[in-house]
Structure 1
């Protein structure tokens, strides 16, 4: 899959087959995050790969916006410094991991609002760090259409030279 095709077709997946993700694929997803660029090359992130069924179930219970984590084969918690640069670098790594997974037929979705004391304790995250997101990964339960996205037209979001001037290409 070409990079642009992955971007064009990547969809949020919240329903997963009961199928393990091969270790090599998990490593490749983590490598995609590790290889992402970061501010001043600090690479100030940590990725916690969770595959134990009991921990995935507990994360699903604790994540108010992501109960479907419980059905995933893998969840990766992204831990960063609590700062704008930490948020940006972590988000960049997440996008690369999601695209790498998608290329392998593995779906995912960003789960927010997970920097809670209970989740930090469960994953042994130091108090001075924050959990930016938990991303569940798994094989989609249904075939997803390629490129079926509801997005604004380019003319609505792209500007030429200055805000408010239509992009002309």
Structure 2
């Protein structure tokens, strides 16, 4: 991997990082594994609870058994090592765990080590392989390894930024709350394109839903006011 220098290092790592499922036979040093783990443990978490445990798996036979816990885990046995992400927050959205996973993967890519996230569809089987207690949550495995020479993943298709991002800029150039008067131009802008599918896009549907709710709220106020007048 070409060395990245300067302020753009993190941005370039994010731009070039790909899911790597084919690995070379080159071993990953323990020093590099510890560097990756250290990045994961420094991830942010709600109230700094750090609700994770990282289990490193390097044994080839164990990797094979672990792969049986996922429906799309055929690449796991060929990885140099894997990290099982275990959490005590059962039943809660694993946002914190997702941040840790991203830190682990970016730190690995900074060392030229590819990775791929894998879901354990059969968590009980996966727990049994690693002797993880039943009261802990285990669904995610990250596999790591230097990309194989034939591994040339295509850049993933990403939605362009403009439809995803909207800024509300005040008169002074600062961000400000969106006022009701500001929503009408947005509502008019997102029309049905009859030349394509003939269906409204998500923004149009969202604004239409908003105005329907606003109308219902207004009618509710009128009904309440009439009831108070009659009394």
Residues 13-36 of structure 1, C-alpha deviations (whole Å, 9 max, x = no match): 001111210000100111111011
**Residue in 1 that maps onto 2:96:** 89
**Residue in 2 that maps onto 1:34:** 41
**Residue in 1 that maps onto 2:119:** 112
Aligned in 2, Cα 1:143/1:103: closer, same or farther, shift over 3 Å? farther
User: Which is worse superposed, 21-30 or 60-69?
Assistant: 60-69
Paired positions, count: 165
Q: Distance in 2 between matches of 1:25 and 1:83?
A: 32
- Structure 2: runs of 5+ lacking an equivalent: 169-177, 190-231
- Structure 1: runs of 5+ lacking an equivalent: none
**Residue in 2 that maps onto 1:123:** 130
Matched, 1:158 2:165: yes
TM-score by length of structure 1 reads: 0.88
Kept in 2: contact 1:108–1:137 (CA 8 A): yes
Kept in 2: contact 1:111–1:134 (CA 8 A): yes
Structure with higher Rg: it is 2
Q: Distance in 1 between matches of 2:152 and 2:144?
A: 18
**Residue in 2 that maps onto 1:73:** 80
Kept in 1: contact 2:54–2:84 (CA 8 A): yes
Shift of 1:147: 8.8
Q: Pairwise CA RMSD of aligned residues? A: 2.3
Q: Distance in 2 between matches of 1:139 and 1:61?
A: 23
Residues 63-106 of structure 1, C-alpha deviations (whole Å, 9 max, x = no match): 21211101001100000121435x01111000000000001110
Of the candidates 41, 47, 70, which is equivalent to residue 63 of structure 1? 70
TM-score by length of structure 2 reads: 0.66
**Residue in 1 that maps onto 2:22:** 15
Shift of 1:144: 6.1
Kept in 2: contact 1:9–1:147 (CA 8 A): no
